[in-house]
Chains A and B, each alone.
Chain A
Amino acid sequence: MEQVLLIRYDEIHLKGLNRPFFERKLIEGIKHSLSGLNATVHKEQGRIFVYGIAAEDRDEAVDRLTRVFGVHSISPAVGVEKDWNTIVAAARDITEKAIGSRERATFKCFCRRSDKGFFMNSEEINRELGHEMLEAFPNLSVDIREPEIKLCVEIREMAFIYAQEIMGAGGMPTGTAGLATLLISGGIDSPVAGYMMARRGLELTAVHFYSYPYTSERARDKVVDLAKIVSRYSGPIKLHLVPFTEIQLAIYEKCPPKETTVLMRRLMMKIAQLWAEKDGARALITGEALGQVASQTLESLCVTDDAVTMPVFRPLIGFDKNDIVAIAKKIDTFNTSILPYEDCCTVFVPQHPVTKPEVQKMRESEALVDFSEMIQRAIENTETVTAI
């Protein structure tokens, strides 16, 4: 008898000829997430099996696997020889654990038989095993539609038996979609945006703007911490910390007061794109949600898009704040995001920013200052750290 973790995967089965590539990336992600736990990972016929995890590490392994993109669900299972009495004995153990302290429980058996040489077919196995369980546990009853316990048997080169299915993170394996650059602020939204795109298989780099000396060292550490949390899902993130004060002050002094926010965002996008190009990324990611603040109206988004040539991914565009907060809590960035430090966007904010800027007008306002040397200096003085 062997303890295994059985992993189902998402969406990859939709892939055609490049499916092996997606599977390979998924297995890489799984192996990476289980490093240090002495795991061996095998792929066979639409499933991935993890062997060799010590009993005391099992919960930890499952927890880590729930953060691997591309994993649909995980079932801790036992693998036994394809001998009927052995299967029944193992099924009894698992059913007993699943019943736990409940006085009564409903169940059904669910068999998959990829080894067609096995002497019973799936239906026969379901029936016979169901019978054995009813005999063994008088407090069990059958419910085909909504059973409390789903006792699963998979007949492969061994028989795998389990009754638990833990949902994974879903999405596409990390690194299957290429590389993009996240604009990360320290707020609630941008880490969630990074997570959402990583979930679609993107690897990330990130750019953060800070206003030394007017923002706190803690604000910087907070962003590094947020990137670290996102990196648990996305893999390592190269994070560029860009000093923005000089540009910000120039905007405040020389450009129309109501336009400062949207102009700041244009400049941030430009610098982010420069870093993205250096990193070899092909898109930018922001945490904007339509209409959330003045700089996130449709008009403002047109103006910020106009500042760059790369595609800008805004995975939160149709989300309410509550939806975003719920994800932030789920991925554990929320409590870090709400730490109250001034960031570069709050240091000097105009009281009534323009909400419907026009592209042409903003180009003209931006042209009031020659930013090229300032941008160059910002790039040169950027500090890059890797968040792991």
Chain B
Amino acid sequence: MIYLDNSATTRTLDIAADTAAQYMKADFFNPAAAYSAAVEVERNINSARARLANAIHAQSDEIIYTSGGTESNNTAIFGALRARRGGGRIIVGATEHPSVYEAAMSMKGPYVINEARVDKTGAYDVNMLAQSIANDVAFVSVMQVNNETGAINDIPAIYKAVKQRAPMAIMHVDGVQGFLKVPFDARYCDMYSISGHKFHAPKGVGALYVKRGTRFAGGQIGGGQERNLRSGTTNTPGIMGMDAAIGYYAENIDNIRQRLMNMKLRLASNLTSISDTFINGPAPELGAPHILNVSFLGVRGEVLLHALEEKGIYVSTGSACSAHKKGKNRILNAMGVVGDRQEGAIRFSLSMFNTIEEMDIAAEEIAAQLAFLRRFKRR
């Protein structure tokens, strides 16, 4: 199997799975309990929190554990808006994940929603975005890395523009695809979402960074966990499993990023040697090291996907969250990738478990499948 759909989800690292199992089987105590075994678990959660904060140059008390990317994104938007009065404008990127985009759209009425436009690589046009910001903007949400094309947004520039033109506005960054893959500094946002299963941690765990001083009403209500900002029994297996994955990255970070980029460049150069093939998004060396989006003209993405599936190669035709929805791809539409180029678009997303040889095998198989499938293309 050659798994090239790591933006959908990743295989859990052994050390992360083992750690999670340890907190289910042995150290299963509720960290809120009074006895010392539980206190020990609480201490470990606190160390995990510190390590996560450190990965984005933040402080422990700015990290709230959640169930994953969707909850983090939802909570960021609703928790911030619930803490303020009156209306105003929300600016949301046109290519945002539905957990951001639809959440923002649901605030239509009390708020006016503006979409931030992207250029043809999938990155936000910082000048245009800056010009659209005025004092009536309450909330801005943009993604760090475009999940379809790997385009990296200039978050520091956007943050500066937001704070200059609308000092009271809160800026949220969806870091689900970017965290650990691309450097990030929490100085340049007020809120930042991460999701464990995108970087080899278990599913069902994530976190939301909320900068000190940000007015924020929190998420689910109950027993007062997470400094009363997100109640619910602490997900110790998930959090400690995620911590193990973060630890692994921390030790190997430069090496991982370099390997990903090498593999991506190899795949890109292999694929662009096939006729009628176009890269969607930024030049490969400028994008995130793990995402490559390519259009193969003359074949439907889903047909190629299943042809590759039969050969044990797993890719995607769009983010998995939208693969069940009818209609065109909103994100590629926003980038101006339409018609045949959209229909034949495939996203390859890599992880550290991939190898350079796999990039060659995958490209060869794609070339072979295309040679066959294009014989039956629409005539």
Contact = CB atoms under 8 A, between A and B. Distances in A.
Interface of A: 212-216, 249, 252-253, 257, 338-342, 346-351
B302 A342 contact: yes
Given A213-B309, A348-B377, A349-B378, A338 B302 contact: no
Interface in B258-312: 300, 302-303, 306-307, 309-310
Given A213-B309, A339-B324, A348-B303, 6 more contacts: A213-B310, A214-B302, A214-B303, A214-B306, A252-B375, A350-B379
A213 B378 contact: no
Given A253-B375, A253-B376, A342 B303 contact: yes
B366 to A, nearest CB: 14
Interface of B: 300, 302-303, 306-307, 309-310, 324-327, 375-379
A214 B302 CA distance: 7
A253 B379 CA distance: 11
Contact of A215 (B306, B324, B375, B379): B306
Contacts of A216: 302, 306
A213 B309 CA distance: 8
B303 A347 contact: yes
B311 to A, nearest CB: 9
In terms of DSSP, what is the predominant structure of the interface of chain A? loop
21 contacts: A212-B310, A213-B310, A214-B303, A214-B307, A216-B306, A249-B376, A252-B375, A252-B376, A253-B375, A253-B376, A257-B379, A339-B324, A342-B300, A346-B300, A347-B300, A347-B303, A348-B303, A348-B378, A349-B378, A350-B378, A351-B379
A346 B300 CA distance: 10
A339 B377 CA distance: 24
Contacts of A257: 379
A338 B327 CA distance: 11
Given A340-B324, A347-B300, A213 B307 contact: yes
A276 B307 CA distance: 31
Nearest to A252: B376
| Top 8 A-B residue pairs of the complex, sorted by shortest distance between their CB atoms | A213-B310, A340-B326, A257-B379, A252-B376, A348-B376, A214-B303, A342-B302, A351-B378
A361 B307 CA distance: 33
Nearest to B378: A351
A348 B372 CA distance: 13
B326 A338 contact: yes
Nearest to A346: B300
Contacts of A347: 300, 303
A38 to B, nearest CB: 40
Question: Most chain-A CB neighbours within 10 Å: which of B300, B302, B324?
Answer: B302
A340 B379 CA distance: 24
Contacts of A253: 375-376
Nearest to B377: A348
Contacts of B307: 213-214
A219 to B, nearest CB: 9
Contacts of A348: 303, 376-378
